[in-house]
Amino acid sequence: MDSTSTPIRIVVAEDEELIMNNLIRKIENIDPSLQVVCAAEDGKEALSYVRDNPVDLVVTDIHMPVMNGISLIRELHLHFPHIRAVITTGYADFEYARQALRFQVSEYLLKPIKQEELRQAISRVKLSIDSEKSSYRNSLESMRAGSDKPETIVQLVQQYLKENFTRELSLEEVAKSFNFTSSYLSKIFIKHTGAAPSKYLIALRINEAKYLLTEHRHLSVKEVGERIGYPDQFYFSRLFKQVTGSTPKEFQK
């Protein structure tokens, strides 16, 4: 593979330390551009990292405590669809493979993992990631050169918001990322979607909050707010009620 390509940020989730260290070593030996940025002992730890940091690929075992690999890739599929996933497991079970395919897992590897099989699998995933990043960069360059249509710009902004809505984000920051003024970005966004970028961002965050409140009831209202980019609990609760008609606690019940 081309070692000059854009770094691929990888999370490895594996509860057995020796296997984890061996897997990380094998991955990083494939190509210098492959960077393991997080070694997680379970799916919950991996997901927590993904929520707060840019990640391209998650390589996960199936059988882990707290949150297993199938639950982890389900969360990625629902909320971080741009992140690729590779399953590793010692269980040659068709049911696991079927579930993995349903969540659009890129590769499925059986333990003990052979270096060549891992190299081929990671190479295929890397090629797909590089191609997508290249296409995205070309679109941005075309847009900044003024040769892209406004509707294409809006689609790129929507994709950017989907990938970054879990952190604090302002319209000015988004506009700056695309080399536009916030007023121009709002104008074309409203024209092509019928709503302002801020409304689109709120909708993404509130939908994620609904999911967290119902599926992760152990989380406090404050924790839910922090996970979707609203560290101020009172602001989050007030906004949630404006949108849904009920407070986060009422919605959870």
Contacts 24+ apart (CB under 8 A), 179-187: 179/144, 180/153, 185/153, 185/157
Report pLDDT digits (tens) over 4-13.
Answer: 467 899 999 9
Mean pLDDT of the chain: 85
Q: Which residues contact 78 (CB under 8 A, 6 or more apart)?
A: 211
Neighbours of 111 (CB within 10 A): 16
Confidence class for position 143, pLDDT limits 50, 70, 90? low
Residue 78 to residue 80: CA distance in whole angstroms: 6
pLDDT tens digits, residue range 209-221? 998 898 888 889 9
Domains detected in the chain: 8-132 (3.40.50.2300), 149-253 (1.10.10.60)
The residue-averaged pLDDT of 223-246 equals 92
Under the banding of pLDDT at 50, 70 and 90, the label for residue 30 is very high
